[in-house]
A and B are shown apart, each in its own frame.
Chain A
């Protein structure tokens, strides 16, 4: 077998719902345990042990839940955009499963980022909401998640449903750099990024280490939740196949 054909077989395997289902059982458990430990340790650290901000006092602890929710929501949207591209180029069924599985958590985490942002803003700047670049582009992100969800509910035909949601998912990725650079383009209320995974943080380690733990915990939770939803979706779509019946009979 030549190199390209073995790459092709691997790609086919990756796109096969059955292969994904059979491989992903341990991933779900791993992500679940990681999420539980990281979010548990991170929350205790953030609430009781991280030093208060010299300007904002203890309301600054809201950052430890606000930033992870916002970061992971944006990453989930980007994954949906990539899945949309994969669906368009290779017509991979698993990509549509992934888009469907990303929607619920992406939606609630975006809503959560907006909510915790408001709750942080009230004692810090005296307002729950401000029409500022970052808040508006995050609101657009929420509407994109809701829009794709509604689109999927409205379209009956499975093929059309997959293509339409993949297209909107791809187009909507334009919004992600807008969210990212909004704090630099419009110097309004929202403070600049407190944290990125790639740059050296401005905060002291006793402040950013609990944030890092919370961010990783939120990513692990997303891994657990999205892969679990993908597995459920696969069972529904393949419910008539022999392998699903066999897996269910043995409790897999």
Chain B
């Protein structure tokens, strides 16, 4: 059952809004950053390694980016 009568009372959290939203905000921020950091590292690695592995094929990729 929904515990709040309006969006305003939902955001206010019975006067504890600042604390509740600070805790949830920090949690989801930390999770988002953790996810993005590992995904970013993976993408950089893939780029680096596929360039390294392409002694033959990498050259065409390099040419493609030049064009």
* Residue ranges of A at the interface with B (Cβ–Cβ < 8 Å): 39, 43, 47-52, 57-59, 61-62, 65-66, 69, 104-105, 108-109, 112, 115-116, 119-120, 122-123, 221, 224-225, 228-229, 231-232, 235-236, 239, 244-246, 248-249, 251
Which A residues touch B16, using CB under 8 A? 57-59, 123
| Contact (Cβ within 8 A) B3 A50 | yes
Which B residues touch A51, using CB under 8 A? 3
Which A residues touch B14, using CB under 8 A? 52, 57-58
With a 10 A CB-CB cut-off, give which of B2, B17, B46 has the most chain A CB atoms.
Answer: B46
In chain B, positions 1-59 with a C-beta closer than 8 Å to chain A are 1-4, 10, 13-17, 19-20, 22-24, 26-28, 30-31, 33-35, 37-39, 41-42, 45-46, 49-50, 52-54, 57
Q: Given the interface contacts A48-B3, A123-B16, does A232 sit within 8 Å of B23 by beta carbon?
A: no
| Contact (Cβ within 8 A) A49 B1 | yes
Which A residues touch B54, using CB under 8 A? 249
**Total A-B pairs, Cβ < 8 A:** 102
Nearest A residue to B58, CB-CB: A249
Among candidates B24, B28, B38, residue contacting A229 with C-beta atoms closer than 8 Å: B38
| Contact (Cβ within 8 A) A245 B52 | yes
| Contact (Cβ within 8 A) A119 B34 | no
Give complex CA distance A79, B3 in Å: 38
Q: Given the interface contacts A49-B2, A66-B23, A120-B23, does A248 sit within 8 Å of B50 by beta carbon?
A: yes
CB distance from B39 to the nearest CB of A (A): 8
Which A residues touch B31, using CB under 8 A? 39, 221
Q: List 22 A-B contacts (CB under 8 A).
A: A39-B31, A47-B24, A58-B16, A59-B13, A61-B20, A66-B23, A104-B34, A105-B34, A108-B34, A112-B30, A115-B23, A116-B23, A122-B19, A123-B16, A225-B38, A228-B38, A235-B49, A239-B49, A245-B52, A245-B53, A248-B53, A249-B54
Give complex CA distance A229, B24 in Å: 25
